[in-house]
Copies of this chain bind each other. A is one copy, B any other.
Amino acid sequence: MARIGILGATGYTGVELVLALEGHPEAELVFLSSEASAGMRLQQVFPRLSGCTKIRNLTLRTAADCQDASVDVVFSCLPHGASAEACSAFLAGGAKVIDLSADFRLRDPSDYPRWYGKPHPLPAKLSEAVYCIPELHRQDLAGASLVANPGCYPTSILLPLVPLARAGGLGAGLVIADSKSGVSGAGRKPSLATAFCETNESFSAYKVGRKHQHLGEMLQELGRARTGGVPLVFSPHLVPMERGILSTLYIPLAASWTGARVRDLLAETFAGEPFVQVLAGEDGLPSTSHVAHSNRCHIGVAEQPEQDIVVVVSVIDNLVKGASGQALQNWNALFGYPETLGLAP
Contacts and interface: CB of A to CB of B under 8 A. Distances in A.
Contact of A290 (B48, B176, B200): B48
17 contacts: A23-B344, A47-B298, A48-B290, A52-B345, A53-B345, A178-B235, A190-B194, A195-B196, A196-B242, A200-B240, A201-B242, A208-B248, A208-B311, A210-B306, A210-B307, A233-B250, A240-B240
A302 B209 contact: yes
Identical subunits present:
4
Contacts of A208: 248, 285, 302, 311, 313
Given A205-B285, A311-B233, A191 B192 contact: no
B289 A201 contact: yes
Nearest to A259: B209
A320 to B, nearest CB: 11
A197 B183 contact: yes
Interface of A: 12, 19, 22-23, 47-53, 173-174, 176, 178, 180, 182-184, 188, 190-192, 194-206, 208-210, 231, 233, 235, 237, 239-244, 246, 248, 250, 274-275, 277, 285-294, 296, 298, 300, 302-307, 309, 311, 313, 344-345
Given A190-B192, A194-B196, A290-B48, A205 B246 contact: yes
A48 B345 CA distance: 9
Specify which of A188, A237, A298 lies most central, judged by the most chain B CB atoms within 10 Å of its CB.
A237
Given A176-B176, A203-B244, A188 B183 contact: no
Contacts of A304: 209-210, 233
A308 to B, nearest CB: 8
Contact of A243 (B190, B198, B201): B201
B237 A180 contact: yes
B19 A345 contact: yes
A280 to B, nearest CB: 10
B188 A47 contact: no
A281 to B, nearest CB: 11
Contact of A291 (B48, B237, B313): B48
A11 to B, nearest CB: 11
A125 to B, nearest CB: 30
Given A289-B201, A290-B47, A309 B174 contact: yes
Contacts of A209: 302-304, 307, 311
A157 to B, nearest CB: 14
Contact of A188 (B197, B205, B233, B292): B197
A200 B233 contact: no
Given A48-B292, A239-B239, A197 B197 contact: no
A50 B49 CA distance: 26
Specify which of A231, A241, A243, A277 lies most central, judged by the most chain B CB atoms within 10 Å of its CB.
A241
B188 A191 contact: no
Nearest to A50: B277
Specify which of A50, A203, A208 lies most central, judged by the most chain B CB atoms within 10 Å of its CB.
A203
A111 to B, nearest CB: 16
